[in-house]
Chains A and B, each alone.
Chain A
Amino acid sequence: MLLKDRRALITGASRGIGKAVAEVFAEQGASLVIAGRDDGIQQLAATLSKDRQPVFAVQGDLTDESHVHELVATCRREFGGLDILVNNAGVLTQALIGMMSLDPVRHMFEVNLLAVINLTQYAVRLMAKSSSPSIINLASIAGTQGIEGVSAYSASKAGVVGFTHSAAKELATRNIRVNAIAPGFIDTDMTRSLPDDWYQRRVEGVRMGKQAGSPRDVANCALFLASNLSTYVTGQVIGVDGGLAV
């Protein structure tokens, strides 16, 4: 198992990519703290911990500082530290330039970018004694290439890319690796909420089979970045997009 005796914190784990990451990490032997806004996070913890390592669920909103404190306190209390942080939680609001209300844009930046920065600041303190600490941020092809119709979302994810590069440089002195994954078009509740014609146009751009990727495709990349298979990899943004960005 690639993550035996490793301790991971995963945000946005209720569904989609975050849930797949939690499943893969649990299969590979990691103990988990999983965070999500939905009631389902508790059920997921119960399922994942059955006959395996402990999984603790913390339900809440990452824009709420008390929720962040509870997450960090749970890692400290239950694990005594942390090896892996997966900053996955994100929201997407679609609107054309000229038709964007700023309130949902602000909220999107708070969840997609500010929460990443905030939680990373706490997590690095928990990683002080880890032998192989790794931070994995979920960016997006929208943040590396841009996608029309989601410019504000793209900007928030571009911020994640910039933060990843800078954090990798800054935290290398502490042996903490920081990488990002830029998923392309992945079949999740988030992408399924987009208009049909928009969805179809994106899928047609995928070179590998003209189909959306699965959350598991992204989770497997996260597994690589979390494990000792990637101990010499930091500051990278890895596309998981079936050739969409090529």
Chain B
Amino acid sequence: MNENRLVRCFTESLGVSENIVNDQLAYRAIPEWDSVGHMAMITALENEFDVMLDTDDIIAMSDFGKAKSILTKYGVTFDAS
């Protein structure tokens, strides 16, 4: 459930299709995920999961898989894949 919400945050904030969002999707690997896209995606995550991310975690969120592990620190749970 939460993974679907996370994918939706990525697709809507970056303007990309769902089929390219996987654990390996990395910051700057696609033109849409640049620094501006990153901040839009962070805003989407904070709104969707009602969390306030620390700056260090924003910097560390360098791929989709890391986004999941960082959100886990804020109490968001994901099914084991």
Min C-beta distance of A33 to chain B, whole Å: 15
Indicate if the CB atoms of A173 and B42 lie closer than 8 Å.
Answer: no
* Residues in A whose Cβ lies below 8 Å from that of B55: 118, 121
Size class of the contact patch on chain B: under 10
- Set B36, B40, B43, B52: member contacting A73, Cβ < 8 A: B52
Indicate if the CB atoms of B36 and A76 lie closer than 8 Å.
Answer: no
* Residues in B whose Cβ lies below 8 Å from that of A118: 55
Indicate if the CB atoms of A125 and B43 lie closer than 8 Å.
Answer: yes
Which residue in chain A gives the minimum CB-CB distance to B46? Answer: A125
Which residue in chain A gives the minimum CB-CB distance to B50? Answer: A76
CA distance A116 to B43 in the complex (A): 20
Which residue in chain A gives the minimum CB-CB distance to B45? Answer: A125
CA distance A239 to B42 in the complex (A): 35
Query: Is A128's CB within 8 Å of the partner chain B?
Result: yes
CA distance A173 to B46 in the complex (A): 21
Residues 36-57 of B at the A interface (beta carbon under 8 Å): 36, 39-40, 42-43, 46, 52, 55
CA distance A69 to B52 in the complex (A): 8
A-B pairs with beta carbons under 8 Å apart, 18 shown = A69-B52, A72-B52, A73-B52, A76-B46, A76-B52, A118-B55, A121-B55, A122-B52, A124-B39, A125-B39, A125-B42, A125-B43, A125-B46, A128-B40, A128-B43, A173-B36, A174-B36, A174-B39
Seen from chain B, the residues whose Cβ lies within 8 Å of a Cβ on chain A are: 36, 39-40, 42-43, 46, 52, 55
